[in-house]
Amino acid sequence: MQVVDLFAPYQRGGKIGLFSGAGVGKTVLIMELINNVTKAHGGFSVFAGVGERTREGNDLFREMIESGVIKLGGKQAESKCALVHGQMNEPLGARARVGLTGLTLAEHFRDAEGQDVLLFIDNIFCFTQVGWLIVEALETFYIACCMLLMWFDFFSSFFSFRQTLKCLLCLVEFHLLLVTNQLWLLTLEVFKSVVPPPRKVLSLLCKRFMCLLIT
């Protein structure tokens, strides 16, 4: 913790990423950060486990109970941490929404409760991987392209990286325009009228197939 405070202090209101190999102590560092936020600053922590192993989530839960960060029984209101998990055995849709669920919880404690909140997402690789798995689960190229465009937009919205991904979105749209004729045929059956402009077609297709994916 002293090394982190000296070389990479965490700015209030900012974002930071921790990258390392397996077994070097990331979970220990997370626990120390949660303990410091709770005991030194009286803040609240939210941990979103995306694609975590069941054992890892259970171990983290037990460690937080032992350290007093999470309280059970009649003292639940005194807990200073919320856990939300989409484990690796869960469906793709559940894992894809864990990050947003954790973000919603953090915003609630910040806005409604007026607390300083430290949000952890472990890990971002699994968060991006589940998006590619959703795309690969689709059977046709055209639907996959639409879902790919939608996923990049969703990921950029989550991190507010719209400018960074702008060129990537344009590239995906360019590939979709190459199959414009097929998109017209696909949408004519749905709209039964004059074919809308390409961007509206892509938007409606994305919404349609996202609903199918969720249901």
Residue 165 and residue 104 in one domain: no
Looking at the whole model, is its pTM more than 0.85?
no
Tell which wins on pLDDT, 104 or 69.
Answer: 104
Residue scoring higher pLDDT (171 or 82): 82
**Overall average pLDDT of the 45-72 stretch:** 84
Annotation marks residue 26 as catalytic: yes
198 and 161 in a single domain? The answer is yes
Choose, from 15, 39, 52, 66, the residue flagged as catalytic: 52
State whether 108 and 157 are in the same domain.
Answer: no
149 and 107 fall within a common domain: no
Q: Which of 62, 93, 128 is the last residue of a domain?
A: 128
Residue 117 pLDDT greater than 60, yes or no? yes
pLDDT digits (tens, 9 = 90+) for 127-142: 878 877 776 666 555 5
Annotated catalytic residue 52:
yes
Range of the domain at 33: 2-128
| Residues ≥6 apart with Cβ < 8 Å to 183 | 142, 176, 198, 201, 202, 205
Residues 95 and 150 in one domain: no
Q: Are residues 63 and 118 in the same domain?
A: yes
Among candidate residues 26, 71, 97, 110, the one labeled active-site is 26
* Strand bridging mode 117-122 / 44-50: parallel
Name the residue with tokens 């995306």. Answer: 50
CB 64 within 8 A of CB 52: no
Catalytic residue, from 12, 15, 39, 53: name it: 53
Calpha distance 5→3 (Å, rounded): 5
pLDDT of 26 strictly over 60:
yes
Give SS3 for 118.
Answer: strand
Q: Which residue has the higher pLDDT, 8 or 75?
A: 75
Domain final residue, candidates 64, 93, 128: 128
* CA neighbor of 79 nearest in space, from 92, 67, 90, 91: 67
- Regarding whether 153 and 106 lie in a shared domain, the answer is no
